[in-house]
Structure 1
Amino acid sequence: MNRAVVLVVVVILLSALVVSLAGAWLSRGELEQQATKQVETMARLVASELDDKLALRLETLSHVAESFTMDEAVLGARARILIRQQTALQHLFDGLYLIDAEGRVLSEYPEAFQQVGVNVSHRDYFQDASRFLTPVISQPFVSSYQDQPAVMVAAPVFDHRQKFIGIIGGALRLGGETFMQEFANTRIGETGYLGVATRSGVTLAHGRTGAVMVPVRVENPVLTAAMEGFEGTRQTQNGNGDKTIMSVQQMDQVPWFVAAVWPAREAYAPITRMADGFVWTLLAVIAVIAPVALLTFRRLMAPLTTLGQQINERHLGIRTAPVQVAGGREIGQVAEIFNTVMDERDEVLGSLADREAFFRSLTQSAPIGIVQSDVLGRIEFVNPAFECLIGRPGSELQHTHLMSGVYEADQAEVIRGWRQALKNHEVFRGRFRIPSQGERELIWADVMTAVIDTPDKTLGSITVVRDISHQLEVEEALREEQQRAESILGVLQEGVLMVDVEGRIRYANQAACQFLGTGGDCVQQNFFNLVTIRDGDTPLGHQAFLTGANVDSLYATLDNRSGERFDIDLTMLHVRQGRHNERMVFVIRDDSERRREEERLSWEATHDSLTQLLNRRAFSASLVKCLAAVPQQSVSSVLMLIDLDHFKPVNDEGGHLLGDDLLKRLAALFADTVRKADTVARLGGDEFGIILPGCGLERAQTLAEAIRAGVQALRIQQDGRDFGVTASIGLTELSPNDSGPREVMARADEGSYIAKSRGRNAVVVVPVPEDEQPPSA
């Protein structure tokens, strides 16, 4: 009873402790979520505001650059006045610079920087803005004025003919009291801070250390992931080794990211105080409740001692009357249940003899062999079916050991299995050979032995024996047929597998498992979870195959869980369709080689083998599509024909290999000069064509001049001689009234002939005839 009292008290204490711990754990989880959301919100707000400020500066600077449409000489003469007039930019940037096309600073504001005349052509922001001709925000750099860290926002400046004549740049200092530091000085709680860095690993602002232009701490895995594009919130450690909550938000305007950091010690301070309160409250409850529970429980459980004594006397036979105990209702119920159990036990023992007689009469007519043995394994009874099975009468088997009837070669394994079953309190099951004096000297038997137990003792065992010799012969024949079929399927290159209605694989050869990417055996796995099959862009799932008809030679793609993709020829057959044991048989053939051959032939039919550019047939098809889209275009499309000058002497004097090399270099020059969306083709010999959709004639002329200059500058040396060519280029706009590609090609060809007649190495624009011009609005 004392142990029960202690147990109840311990349970009460443990329950209180579990409730307290659960409350603290749930509160901590809620607090962690709130802290995480707060850090995420701060990072998102700061990143958004910083994006807005950079977007405002970039947009304002681009607008000012667009207003500087003047001659390059005028830009140089008025540079100082133009910079001093940009009041709006002066408020947005820490410094303004006007730089000519060669990278020389023409003017600055404030003039105290003394950067006029300095050449900045080596700076990344100048090279990017002059190369791509678009506004840029530079990577952080150390300026030549007092070695201050800064970021440059630059926009290209064009003259009236859209020629690049320079850039206007606005510098943003990273040190000191700048708008970047205003963000960094923002606090999360009392000790949380913000940081801004580039994906290339340079710190722009740090709210804890104030560091600028130092490498990002790559020891922090969250910062390393942020440089690779990660966004989100994780727990990590700062440079001092303190645990922190860090939220990363990538910026849209530039490849930067904002990191909001809140020390976990401060974020979780409320839950620490709450946990201390829980502990003290629990100790107070224990001090009051434990003594009261101990005294009350001892008083309530006292009648159990009397009950235990009466039960023991009834079990030993000293007491014959039912047990009677005064006490609570629960103890009275225990006494009543015990009395009822004892009465039922007496009834069971009284009917045991009747049951045994019934068992023996039942086994006499059973069709399978039944053997009863005592606790030592000696046979006490066998039925006629078992006598017939082994060809011996029951009188000869009486008192012989049960294991003596097992074939000698199988006895060791059977004894091992029997002992294991007894140890685990299980029914022994086995298949082994039994000597017989009947038609067969040895028969294979399926044997099941169970121990006969009563509440008081073990009475022996009952064994059921079934002859399975014929069954095993049939199974062996079926197994040989199955092995033969699997051997045939195993050497096939095609994947063959069978799945049930739930998609579980029932059979698959090795080739099928390779398609599925499982590496080894894929049986019992779900086929439709391992692969994704698509007919074109349409995925074919479990229901599509299950409810659809048979599939014969479907060309599809198969993606497996290893990330491999196969072009396949798929066949699927239903077996026992509509029944509960329906199966689907899939045959998968690798169709990649045939498709690659089709792609190769298609590519060769549309491309020039020497230059890898489109050929004349593919170029004509593209021109037809472009002509069809002309009525819907707001900016005109342009056709450019390029006819090389003096190419025949290169072939005659340098050789055809030199001529081929020159053509390949020119093809690369044309493709690199124009846009990705433009169409470049070799029309034959030394003639090339370029389609510039939605380009506009003015821009097309600029590209043509760049190509002409590039062709003229391209020289190849061989045997101490320089070889090169020039280009006669014809341009014409595509008109909605053009009847077809021949008419447009004729106008552009006319331009190249005119260029040759004027001395070659020129660009000539052939306008659309007046009667073909579209009517003005």
Structure 2
Amino acid sequence: MGSLANRAVALVVVAIILTALLVTVAGFLLSRSELEQQARNQVETIATLIAGELDDKLALRLEALNHVAQNLTMSGDVLNTRARILIRRQTALEHLFDAVYLIDENGLVIAENPEDYRQAGLDVSNREYFQRISSTLTPVISEPYISHYQEKPAIMVAAPIFDHRQRFIGVIGGAIALDGNNFLDQFINIRIGTTGYLGVATRSGFVVVDQRDHQPMAPVRVANPVLRDAMEGFEGTLETRNSNGEKTIMSVQQLTQVPWFVSASWPAREALAPITRTVDAFVWILLLVILLIAPVALWRFRRLMAPLKTLGIQIRERHLGMRSDPVDVAGGKEIRQVAEIFNTVTDERDEVLVSLAEREAFFRSLTQSAPIGIVQTDVLGRIEFANPAFEAIVGKPAEDLTYSYLADRVDSADRQEAIAGWKNAIRSQSVFRGRLRLAAPDRVIWADVMTAAIQTPEKALGTITVVRDISHELEVEEALKTEQQRAETILRVLQEGVLMVDVEGVIRFANDAACRLLGIEGECVLRNFFQLVTIETEERELTAQEFLSGDDLDSLYVTLRNSLGVPFPIDLTMLHIRQGREDERLVFVLRDDSDRRRQEERLSWEATHDSLTHLLNRRAFNASLVRCLGEAGRQEARSVLMLIDLDYFKPVNDEGGHLLGDDLLKRLAELFKESVRQSDTVARLGGDEFGIILPACGMARAQALAERIRADVEALRIEHDGRSFGVTTSIGLTELTPEDSGPREVMARADEGSYIAKSRGRNTVVVVPSPPAG
């Protein structure tokens, strides 16, 4: 190594190796970061597109069903009578759904298309979608469920149907099979690379579509933290590990139409495979270059030592930009080698500068289209760059934001905390994360904020801040908390007995209600369920083996005789969990049927009676009127309809208060009931309007009765706070004839009589004759 040529050769080889390693490491890190970001963007874009398309398709189907429901305005009887014809006319829905159903107000399927689904007469009142739509009276998209037909997973898109009085009379629903040939099946064919996969799941924890195992309604793998967060409303792109422990890039996008989310996953080994292959190729090329250059450099360096001054001049000219061509001097191989190295380094520098410029342009383009706010500030906190997403969040254009202080965009209540956090991030070279309120022109916005310092080893250059609007997420979280509290309250007061047993019959879980039904004081876990009770139908006793090997049971009415020999009429439901496996479990739900019967009787009474006066309501009154009309042709004396409209009732409510008005209505109800026969029908039709049906009464007796009621009401007074309150009545009478087409015609005549009575000064009885027989 005493020779300058040998030292130069060694130096050249070492320089090439170090330069190549530096370029390799830098290129590897930069390329890996860029490739990883591109992979994240690609996965996120696919998840966003799929989520958007799913939302569009679900919205289309929901809107189509709602449009059809609005065009089905008719009475409930007409809907039941023409159900099959109506459902066949909805040809447009056949292309949107696997099956279309018409369901009456009680939850019974009255028609379906296609008819080979054989669902007519099926009771779906216990389905989640029917309970939601009958309580909210708005269109819904259901959670996934197992359909009664072929027991396959499906979802139901449903809309309520109302009659002309906007009364709920039924539901039109479209079923979409999760494993059928429909728009959900199209997503199975979308691939991410070779090993990437897509999935659609509900926030309640069930798979809708999964490209890997194609098992709809399978539980979501909550062991994956990204999926677990997605079920809580998380949306974004993160690195995680799949069920095989393999590093994976996963993007989650929430749907707006339904509480579902789309997950797109791409194994990192495939996503980053190009950079690995590039590094391997570069290493082999580097070894080949070294093997070729080292002997050539040793041979040429001894002969080409050119004048160093000429070389220096050319290098200086190239450095100052006075020379655009590469340095080219004659001389020994040492000088030529230096010239070649200089030219190589210069070219690489130009390439790096071009690459940096391209990356900066790429960063600018990426931030412009990013869905979250991105803000760059100087060390004083003045905004140098803000992307459109941040402009939209704070409601200010870029020209108003540039060179203004970022802290001014924070609500005054959180401003000091934000400033302190940003200063600490710059000082400690850490990342500040916080949840802040941002001041917008017309509202306050909650945002997740993350700030990191931009700095070199010598000094800080500023900060980069990422802002995500979470106002809607907080509203959703609050709604979810409310729903969770409601569910917990329901569970605390649940009266049904619920227990779970293993294949040996040993009780693994039981609530207090179940233990009471079994006749056990205290804890009944680890006792044998089938040894404690006998379960009998009307025909025979059911055995433990029948439960284990049979299908799920839904609302089977049985008699349960507990360990004390006490019999209970039970509505029994039994479900298999993990059927056929060693850890199979049976879940029994035991409902005391006597309570249900009493509840049905109470509900039946409430459905036909007015809660204040305990008189019949309008629905029961109309039913009685229809029956009476049907008997009109067989009666010697005509039946009479009496409509009573109270006069001056509003001043009683306004001046005496609603409690006084309610008391007056109850006294009037007692007066009406005491004035008529046992066979007569008295009802409160709504507000201050009452109706009386007088079967086979005759108009003369009915008119005398109406005059007596009018006089008794006029005489009724209530004393309150030193004042006397009372009302009078405007009464319309009309006969029921065989020629009447229905209750509406008779009601219209009687109503006309009450209006005429009011026009004559109120406190009057008016008889409206029936039209002559035609």
TM-score (norm: length of structure 1):
0.41
Q: TM-score, normalization: structure 2?
A: 0.41
